[in-house]
Chains A and B, each alone.
Chain A
Amino acid sequence: MVARARRGLREELRLYLVAVTSLSVAFLCVGGALLATTNLSAAAERWGESGRLSVYLRDGARPEDVTQLRMVLEGLPEVASVQSLSSEDARGMFLEQSEVSSDLASLPAEVFPPSLEVAIAEGTPIQRVDAISERVGRFRAVSDVETYRSFFDRLGSLVTAGTNLAIVIGLLVLLCVFAVIGNTIRLAVARRRNEIEVMKLCGATDNFVRGPFVLEGTFQGAMSAVLAVLALGVLFTTVRGSIDASLAELMGTRAVFLPAWMLFAIIAAGAIAGAAGSALSLRRYLTV
């Protein structure tokens, strides 16, 4: 069967090359979308991990409550450091950072609540940070906890959107692979109709006839995906140098390539879609 499939590939080389090339481009789009999503989510993860908490204290919180809170926080393994900020400090920092006009400078210190600025150790998962902030929020001295989650959430929803986009593109491309390979094989089958007839008249089973065509379709699908992955790899390594610098500045992360399992999944999906496309396109031609 492999020998007959090889003969088929040789005879229909031009036809198959066109199909494989166009499908490679399609797979390249999927790969690109996946690569962007992967990098975005990697960045989001890192940012989420190197987190910060602002624990705002109630007006008139009792000093011993604050001290106790501070001790609890410092006892947590996820907490890197705790710094307390009085109303005056906060006002000073605010005025310093926002170069605003002098009427804001007349704001009284009471407008700025005192807080504990908590730095979270690197590598702490977001869920842990949430748990800590929830626990801290129950202390009597605490009025509010700011986790800066809304920013991560926005980033997170961007990642989700990217993932969805990649999935949609992926499905479209699979449909393309299915249709293009189905058509290519249909053409090859039509050209080899006489061979099929001869084989069937000699007593070949449908599977015997179908085998090489399905193999050819599988090979085309897998080959397109492999070519796309290789092209993506080459593109990635060439542009990585220039991207990395700006990315590091912007997000504090380095560009990452797709994980191995995802590459295998792309290739497997190509092979399966190719096999299915050719198997389905063959059904009509087997009656002799």
Chain B
Amino acid sequence: MPGMPRDPEDDEGKVVRPFAFFRAGARADARAAQRPILVFDGVYKYFREDQPTLKDVYLEVERGEFAFITGPSGAGKSTLLQLVYRKHTVDQGRILFCGRDIARLTDKSIPFLRRNLGIVFQDFKVIPHWTVFENVAVALEILAMPRRLVRSRVAEALERVGLAGRGQERTESLSGGEQQRVAVARAIVTEPALILADEPTGNLDPHLAIDILTLFEEINDTGTTVLFATHDHSLIASRDHRIISIDEGRVIEARTGLRSWGTTGVHAAVG
């Protein structure tokens, strides 16, 4: 079938992506480009038998979209994202990433799914005793990319997050906001189609949070889809992005254009 992704299981070591043509900006297949990049189709996730963390979730995320995921603590925001990068598997329903059901991927294919995602966490997950360069380069070394290319791509990514020329510093000597920028650089250096950010501003001062949010918006401007989980109302209210709100395991709002709702709308959506 033309345009179908290659089977990722076989050749490890080479730069293999199961959804190679879905890299940001790539437009290899016109039909694929029109389809939503991410679809939740009747998804259930149970951590306890009697109470599903996510129940019957339907959700479509368009290519190039920027969406907040919000909801009270314990609502299942992190769980939703973890299902996408296959930390957990759905118990019922399907999750289509670029048209592929990721619930049906074998364990051996999971790394190849993750190579198409950029993940950013609240606790940064950078290695403190590595240099800034090493922390970003690790994502490319996994792809067995030649060293020269790694150097230029890392430098480019560091420039995009505002850390140009600081590759040789030890990461632990950086401030929290800077460390999160390193993590963002690591997430974008592979040019993934989709970025999953799980409360990336949760550990940062409010003004730094706005900086990081702006950074993600700049990344989104280049065509990368961004899912940004947060329960910071002020952050959500400061922007006019789509809001996906989770409460008691259900997606209760999935609307675009926050500003058109008025203030009551915000509080209804955010809880």
Contact = CB atoms under 8 A, between A and B. Distances in A.
Contacts, number: 44
Nearest to B12: A205
Given A207-B12, A208-B142, A288-B87, A201 B127 contact: no
A203 interface: yes
Contacts of A207: 12
Nearest to B143: A203
Contact of B186 (A195, A200, A202): A202
The B interface is mostly helix, strand or loop, or mixed, namely loop
A198 interface: yes
Interface in A22-74: none
B127 A203 contact: no
B228 interface: no
A205 B125 contact: no
A203 B169 CA distance: 25
Contacts of B117: 203
B12 A198 contact: no
B113 A201 contact: no
B127 A205 contact: no
Interface in A152-205: 194-195, 197-205
A204 B126 CA distance: 16
B194 interface: no
Given A195-B127, A288-B87, A205 B138 contact: no
A202 B127 contact: no
Interface residues of B, number: 22
Contacts of B115: 202-203
Given A195-B127, A197-B125, A198-B125, A203 B112 contact: yes
A108 B142 CA distance: 95
A82 B245 CA distance: 109
B127 A198 contact: yes
Interface residues on chain A, size class: 10 to 19
The A interface is mostly helix, strand or loop, or mixed, namely helix
Interface string B83-95: 0010100000000
B139 interface: yes
A199 B186 CA distance: 11
Nearest to B123: A194
Interface in B185-201: 186, 190
B119 interface: yes
A75 to B, nearest CB: 71
8 contacts: A198-B127, A199-B138, A201-B85, A202-B115, A202-B139, A203-B112, A203-B142, A205-B12
State the 6 A-B residue pairs at the shortest beta-carbon distance, nearest first. Answer: A203-B115, A203-B114, A202-B139, A203-B111, A204-B142, A205-B111
Given A200-B111, A203-B111, 20 more contacts: A197-B125, A199-B142, A200-B114, A201-B85, A201-B119, A201-B125, A202-B139, A202-B142, A202-B186, A203-B112, A203-B114, A203-B115, A203-B116, A203-B117, A203-B142, A204-B111, A205-B108, A207-B12, A208-B12, A288-B87
